[in-house]
Each structure stands twice: as C-alpha cells, then as structure tokens.
Structure 1
Amino acid sequence: MALEPNALSSEQEAWLQEAVTHTSSGLNPHHEQLEFLGDAVLRLTASEFIAAAYPKMPVGERSSLRAQLVSDRWLAELGAILEIERWWRIGPKASSDSTAAATIRAELSEALIGAVYRIAGTAAVQHWLTPHWTRSAEAVLTDPHRGNSKSALQEWSQGQGLGLPTYSSNEISQRHGDPRRFHCTVTLPPNLKAEGWGSSRRDAEQQAARTVLDQLEGD
C-alpha cells in the first residue's frame, strides 16, 4: 500500500483501524462509512485507470471492464492478496462462518480504499491499485468471454438460431456469503443443460453459462 506507516498521524491510523473493524465486531466506529466512500473512489479511480491504459477502448467495453475491476469478487481477491484477515476485527459468529470470509474481505477492502483516499487522496489509491488492476484487466481482456459468460452464451445461441438460454435459479441456503447459496440450471435446445452455484443469483447463472461454454469448447 502506498502509505508510510511511520508518517501517519494518530487520526490517520484511526481511519485505517476503522476500515478493518467490521460491524459484526460490535465495535464503533466500524467500516461502513469508509466502505461507502471507498465505493465511489473505487469507481472513479478504476475509470481513470481504464481511460489511461486503454485510451482507444469504446465506452461500452470500458463499462464492462470496469464492472469486473470494481466487483465484489475483485475486492475479495484484493483482500486475500493483502491478507486483510491479519488485521481485521470481526465478531465471533462471523469468524466461525467460513462462507462469509469472501464477503467480509470485499467489504473491508473497499473500506480500506476509502481510508487511503482520506489519508492521501486519489493519487495514492491509483498508485496502490494500478498493479492489481493491470493484472486483472489483462486476464479479463484475454478471456474470450470477457468475464461475462451469460452474454457470450446468449450471443452463441442466437447465432445458432436456438433462441435465448433459459435459467432457473433457487436459493438453497440463507447464509450470507455462502458460495453455494444459489443453484442455477441453464438449458438450451435440443439437449444442452448445465448447473452452477454461487453466493448470488447472478454468480450462479454466470457459472452455469460458463459450464455450457466449456462443454461447447470441448466438443
């Protein structure tokens, strides 16, 4: 992170501590206000990164790429890279729920972005996140489906004259952050069918669509 710990004031250190204090801990102040700020900062700085790195990219493609670079999944991966659990303060119930870990990483990572912005501004956020965005953007742009398997499957099915895929999703668990909370089945005529799981309905549908695409690529 683009901050020198020894150069921080007590107030700035308090912001960092607030960012890694989850609401489940029962402590105040907690991460929510910084998470709200971090959400806005993340979208702005990600937009600036894309404009600088890919100046000729059409606006529609920029929006799709930005959606990947500000997603909860991306934030959770950032939290894992930072090993944010070494510093977080969470409640006993949350700490015993392994399925909630990714969600908590995402929330606290976004709060940490808000804290860095408060301490040093957007330039520091850009300096910190650019290497992570660079790796993620390259991965997305080299993916033939650009991280959106549902859209890719729809384009393929319409090109084959098969109409639109049919998705059927059910909530299996009510545990927040459970990676198997939602189950989805996608079908396409004449006999294409696949399943997917995810912590959200959207994630389950994306996984199911990706499974179909993998089947098609394997044929």
Structure 2
Amino acid sequence: MTLNHPQRQRELEKLIQKLGLSPQDPIDWQLLDLALIHPSFSSEMNYDRLEFVGDAVLRMAAAEYLDERYPDSKVGELASIRSLLVSDRMLAKIADNYGLERYLLLSPGAAGDRNGRQSRLADALEATLGALYLSTHSLDLVRPWLDEHFKELAEQIRCDPALQNYKDALQELTQSRYQMLPEYRVRETSTVHADPQRFQAEVWFQGTRRGYGQGRTKKAAEQAAARMAFVEMQQAQALPS
C-alpha cells in the first residue's frame, strides 16, 4: 500500500533504491514512513517502537553475518566486533552513506542540535531496519545491502586492533543492560617504562571484579581488563537461564 502523499512516496522510493532495493519489493510504506519521523516532529506517531524492533534486527543481522563470515573465530571475538558494528558511531556512518538525514522528519530545534546528530541518525537507521523487517518478517530486505557495510567495517576492525575498543564496548554493554558504568582500578607495579606489565588494572562492576589486565600503559592495562570483562559478560548473557 502506497502513501497518501505522492511526494513523500517518491522520496521514500528514492531511499529504497539507494539501498539497492526496488519499489516493487514487498515494503510496508506506512511503516517506512513512520521509521523516519523523529519524536520531536510528533510525540504520538514516531519511530520509537520501530527503533526498539530495529535494535534486535540489527544485532541478529550482524550475528548471522559474522557467524557465516568467520566460522573459526571465537565467540568473544565475534561479540566484540558486533558491539562495534552496532555502535551509534558505525550506524551513523552507514546512515550518512545513504543521506538518511534528508528523509528524516524532525522539528527545527532537533535539526539544529548537532550534538545529538549521531544518535539521531543511529536511531533512524535502526527504525528503518525495523520497518523493513516487519514488512516481510524476515531479513530479506535487510541483509542484501547491510552485509556490504558489515563486511567493510568488520575487516577494518579485525585489521586495526586500535578499533577494538573494549572499554567502549563494555561501557555500551553495561549502560544498555544495567544503566550503570564499570569502575577501573589501576596501579603501577614497575618504574621501567618499557616494562610490558608496568601497569595492572582491574575492572569492577556491581561489586564484583569482572576483569584483570596488564600493560605498558594505563590505557593498555585497562583495555586488557575491559576485554576480559566484556567477553565474560557476553558469554554469561548467552548462557541459558
């Protein structure tokens, strides 16, 4: 079913074509339109619920892709890569590739909020994924174009260890699931600057030590501790209750 507003319909068809899809695909145009309405534009009809669905869709699509692409990789490594693939920074980058912002309906005040642009684009992209998923109740309209971004970004992450920021990944995990931040405790155990174990770090969360690491710098030690904590908490989350 097409929209009642021909101009908006044409705009959304252009977006669909940018994604490499066809206007003849089984797209629920009402949902796609809703996915691109910011809460500042309408407090009642906006993308909030579709963003909720799209968040799960995004993680499932990323998990399927990584499982297929890297069958020999450990779960902890795949989880850390996925956490970066689904981060607001990466999502905003993907959204920018398609000029998603020009299709987003929002208030003038929100449009002028440059600090909120990244999260705004990430939310809109997730909502778009939610709309496309609900159009077919499958990933048929999602993975054909999203996989290409996963491929590029995942290879960048694997080739550049600096991108594997476990502190950011752990913070995103604890904030999204528990609305709390981890605590780092670092101490210097050597005055030799070249000592690879000069600093020792612990990461604590909810009164429990979740990770431990060593490094030549405070940052390296914290990253090592964060990696241990992140992998442990991801694996614990995946275990059946």
**Who is 2:153 aligned against?**
136
What is the alpha-carbon distance in structure 2 between the residues aligned to residue 36 and residue 113 of structure 1? Answer: 10
**Who is 2:78 aligned against?**
62
Q: What SS does the corresponding residue of 1:75 show, helix, strand or coil?
A: helix
Runs (4+) of structure 1 exceeding 3 A deviation are: 6-9
CA RMSD of aligned residues (A): 3.2
Q: For structure 1, list consecutive stretches of 5 or more residues without a partner in the other structure.
A: 167-189, 195-204, 207-219
Task: Using structure 1 for the length normalisation, give the TM-score.
Answer: 0.67
Sort the Cα spacing of 1:50 and 1:8 in 2 relative to 1 into closer, same or farther, 3 A. closer
Sort the Cα spacing of 1:29 and 1:145 in 2 relative to 1 into closer, same or farther, 3 A. same
Aligned partners of 1:39 and 1:110 also within 8 Å: yes
Sort the Cα spacing of 1:2 and 1:116 in 2 relative to 1 into closer, same or farther, 3 A. farther
Aligned partners of 1:23 and 1:90 also within 8 Å: yes
Q: Of 55, 61, 65, which aligns to 1:45?
A: 61
Sort the Cα spacing of 1:122 and 1:31 in 2 relative to 1 into closer, same or farther, 3 A. same
Listed one character per residue, the Cα deviations across residues 190-212 of structure 1 (whole Å, up to 9, x for unaligned) are: 9x799xxxxxxxxxx99xxxxxx
Instruction: Please report how far the alpha carbon of residue 163 of structure 1 lies from its aligned counterpart in structure 2 after TM superposition.
Output: 2.1
Q: For structure 2, list consecutive stretches of 5 or more residues without a partner in the other structure.
A: 1-18, 169-184, 190-195, 204-215, 224-241
**Who is 2:107 aligned against?**
91
Count of aligned pairs: 169
Instruction: Please report how far the alpha carbon of residue 78 of structure 1 lies from its aligned counterpart in structure 2 after TM superposition.
Output: 1.2
Aligned partners of 1:21 and 1:27 also within 8 Å: no
Aligned partners of 1:2 and 1:125 also within 8 Å: no
Instruction: Please report how far the alpha carbon of residue 58 of structure 1 lies from its aligned counterpart in structure 2 after TM superposition.
Output: 0.5
Listed one character per residue, the Cα deviations across residues 33-62 of structure 1 (whole Å, up to 9, x for unaligned) are: 110000111111110000000000011111
What is the alpha-carbon distance in structure 2 between the residues aligned to residue 31 and residue 164 of structure 1? Answer: 41
Q: Provide the identity percentage.
A: 34
Amino acid aligned to 1:129: L
Instruction: Please report how far the alpha carbon of residue 124 of structure 1 lies from its aligned counterpart in structure 2 after TM superposition.
Output: 2.2
Aligned partners of 2:199 and 2:218 also within 8 Å: no
